Structure 1
Amino acid sequence: MTDYEIIGNEVQYLEVKLKEGESAFVEPGHLIFRTPGTRLDTKSGGLRGAFSHMLAGSAVFLLKVEGPGSFGSAGFLPGKILRIDLTGNSVLAEFNAFLCMDSTISYSSKFAGIWQGMVGGEGLFLERFSGTGSLMLHGHGHVLKMDLADGEEIQAEMSHVLAFDETVQYSVSRIGGLKTMVLAGMEGEGLFFATMRGPGRVWLHTISLQQLAAKMVVRR
């Protein structure tokens, strides 16, 4: 079993220790270091998978790191690392959340829908992970976990949605009327909510890249 160690408190990074015969996949842009004993290879999801990953803004190829040895991985901004252990089920995640995963997990892209992609600010595709093993994601700020019962709903601002079980149904709706949308837009806040209906788990991160970028532009 792959040894994952999450290091740090407010700003976390991941150290992965691999034994002989063990391997893990990592997104190239999130690889910090590796020890000399490790071997690198590349993996893609074929032409269709590569095309959807390119449209999503994520890496077309993943690096396969083979043991023995270790490597480090981290997100681009301060935040928390989320470990999700899959047991034959599937989760969907925003395209820039992926850090690394066991080589036993399948990785593909799922079309989020024109409406969700256009208004959500996170692209037209979600990343889909399925199989058995550990998946490591990075959330900006703190990560909130919510367990929804069958039929239970929450509404989350679109750009704060980090990941959710594929059993969760979601749809996108506008926040309030025109006045609400205009005032919210002036503050650089999101204008649309995702309605998430259980059963299943939902993970949210407290810092939105979309809102952070808007604040930086305003302050300049």
Structure 2
Amino acid sequence: MNNHEIDYHLHGDDMQFVEIELDPMETVIAEAGSLMMMEDHIRMETIFGDGSKNSNLSGFVGKLIGAGKRVITGESLFMTAFTNEGTGKKHVSFASPYPGKIVPLDLSELGGKIICQKDSFLAAAKGVSIGVEFQRKLGAGFFGGEGFIMQKIEGDGMAFVHAGGTIHQKELEVGETLRVDTGCLVAMTGQVDYNIEFVGGIKTALFGGEGVFFATLRGPGTVWIQSLPFSRLASRVFAALPEKGGSKGEGSVASGLFDIFGGDRN
């Protein structure tokens, strides 16, 4: 393997974290701020880019290009590398930034390439390359809910992505098509054909409540779908804030009537 071979264990159900076991001198890379805990003799180092061999081929220029790709996807210029410098096995754990699931992806069994939402990457074995995947059809990019820029994870090691709610993994046969809300798409294998299509019908567009575009995925390949995108959760929380017109009560019928008629509870 070109990437470090790491072992892992997932803990929890709806608020998961992943515990990664590192042999001496093994390294895992992760998004800045995702660390939960780590044992002694693990060295933490901030790196420029993703630390893969591809980003080091041309020295500083290669690292700069790798970091630039991360900026395009909305991520930080830097990542954090955790290396076991002890003599025995050590453990480091990473947590999801919001309620949901962590999806382990063995790239060696998935064709060496995964395309995922631009903010879903959590951690990976050292040597895994994190880049960008441009949607071939620009119309899909400009009008699709997730934009035409997605993350591309390549290599032959383990990678971990996170998503909201429940995760559904679906295998698509050759030519099989699946239509998905753009925000619910988490990841897909590299051979899946991906496009954004317009939802026909002006009534659907204006009153359907589901948006006017959806992702069309065509097999063969594997796709991962989330039941609660963070954007959907955040919009509901934002809409419920009192200063944005949300209810100030506890959700009872009585409190709703007070809100409607402007009653004073004091």
Query: So what's the TM-score if we normalise by structure 2?
Result: 0.76
| Aligned-pair Cα RMSD in Å | 1.8
Task: List alignment gaps of at least 5 residues for structure 1.
Answer: none
Q: In structure 2, which of residues 181, 190, 195 is the aligned counterpart of residue 157 of structure 1?
A: 181
Distance 1:7 1:58 in 2: 26
* AA matched with 1:108: G
Distance 1:210 1:183 in 2: 20
Aligned residue for 2:234, secondary structure, equals: helix
- 1:81, distance to aligned residue in structure 2 (A): 0.9
- 1:83, distance to aligned residue in structure 2 (A): 0.7
Once the two structures are superposed, the pairs formed by residues 22-41 of structure 1 within 5 Å of their partners are 22-41=26-45
* AA matched with 1:149: E
- Mean CA deviation greater in 132-141 or 57-66: 57-66
- Mean CA deviation greater in 165-174 or 110-119: 110-119
Distance 2:151 2:65 in 1: 14
- 1:169, distance to aligned residue in structure 2 (A): 0.4
- The answer for the alignment partner of 1:76 in structure 2 is 97
Residues 163 and 229, structure 2, Cα contact 8 Å, conserved in 1: no
Q: In structure 2, which of residues 2, 9, 13 is the aligned counterpart of residue 9 of structure 1?
A: 13
User: If you compute each CA radius of gyration, which structure gives the higher value, 1 or 2?
Assistant: 2
| Equivalenced residues, count | 217
- 1:65, distance to aligned residue in structure 2 (A): 0.9
Identity %: 28
- The answer for the alignment partner of 2:218 in structure 1 is 197
- The answer for the alignment partner of 1:65 in structure 2 is 82
Deviations along 1:116-154, one digit per CA (max 9) or x if unpaired, are 333233244211111211111111101110111111110
- 1:70, distance to aligned residue in structure 2 (A): 2.2
Quickly say closer, same or farther: Cα 1:38–1:126, change in 2 above 3 A. same
Q: In structure 2, which of residues 156, 165, 179 is the aligned counterpart of residue 141 of structure 1?
A: 165
Residues 31 and 123, structure 2, Cα contact 8 Å, conserved in 1: yes
Once the two structures are superposed, the pairs formed by residues 66-145 of structure 1 within 5 Å of their partners are 66-67=83-84, 68=86, 69-87=90-108, 89-112=112-135, 114-145=138-169
Distance 1:202 1:65 in 2: 29
Quickly say closer, same or farther: Cα 1:19–1:107, change in 2 above 3 A. same
Distance 2:34 2:131 in 1: 18
Q: Which has the higher strand share?
A: 1
Distance 1:210 1:102 in 2: 28
Residues 85 and 133, structure 1, Cα contact 8 Å, conserved in 2: yes
- 1:92, distance to aligned residue in structure 2 (A): 0.4
Aligned residue for 2:236, secondary structure, equals: helix
Residues 159 and 190, structure 1, Cα contact 8 Å, conserved in 2: no
Quickly say closer, same or farther: Cα 1:139–1:31, change in 2 above 3 A. same
Aligned residue for 1:29, secondary structure, equals: coil
1:20 equivalent in alignment to 2:41? no
